[in-house]
């Protein structure tokens, strides 16, 4: 009987961890994935910018900097602006702040 209860307890803990841990790691990767999908083509995969395209370096920018840049009437950001909400812009800014 003790073995059965222990097995159920271990199984319950495993299920809780299986459900909770991926959700915690998605938040950290979300900004990086969004940057790679929406921004890297112009600003570079390492956020160092592309001078030939006149795309500035965005490495080390904050969420406020990203939001400000997207809110400007810049036709280059029009497509990305339509597909990103405030939380996603913050996630991108948080990711860029980690790049130094």
Structural domains in the chain plus CATH codes: 27-98 (1.10.760.10)
- What local confidence, expressed as pLDDT, does residue 60 receive? 84
pTM of the predicted structure, to 2 decimals: 0.66
Q: d(Cα 68, Cα 31) in Å, to the nearest integer?
A: 17
Q: d(Cα 65, Cα 100) in Å, to the nearest integer?
A: 15
Length of the chain: 100
Cβ neighbors of 40 (< 8 A, separation 6 or more) are 47
E-strand stretches of the chain = none
What digits encode the pLDDT tens for the residues 3-58?
A: 999 999 999 998 888 776 655 555 556 888 888 988 999 899 999 988 888 888 88
Q: At 2, list the tokens.
A: 């003790």
The dihedral built from the CA positions of residue 74, 78, 80 and 82, taken in this order, carries a sign that is positive
Q: d(Cα 1, Cα 13) in Å, to the nearest integer?
A: 19
Residue with tokens 């159920």: 8
């Amino acid at each position: 009987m003790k073995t059965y209860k222990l097995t159920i307890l271990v199984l319950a803990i495993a299920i809780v961890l299986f459900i909770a841990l991926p959700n915690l790691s998605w938040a950290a990767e979300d900004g990086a994935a969004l940057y790679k999908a929406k921004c890297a083509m112009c600003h570079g995969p390492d956020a160092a910018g592309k001078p030939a395209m006149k795309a500035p370096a965005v490495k080390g920018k904050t969420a406020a900097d990203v939001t400000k840049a997207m809110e400007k009437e810049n036709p280059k950001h029009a497509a990305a602006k339509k597909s990103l909400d405030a939380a996603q812009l913050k996630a991108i800014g948080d990711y860029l702040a980690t790049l130094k």
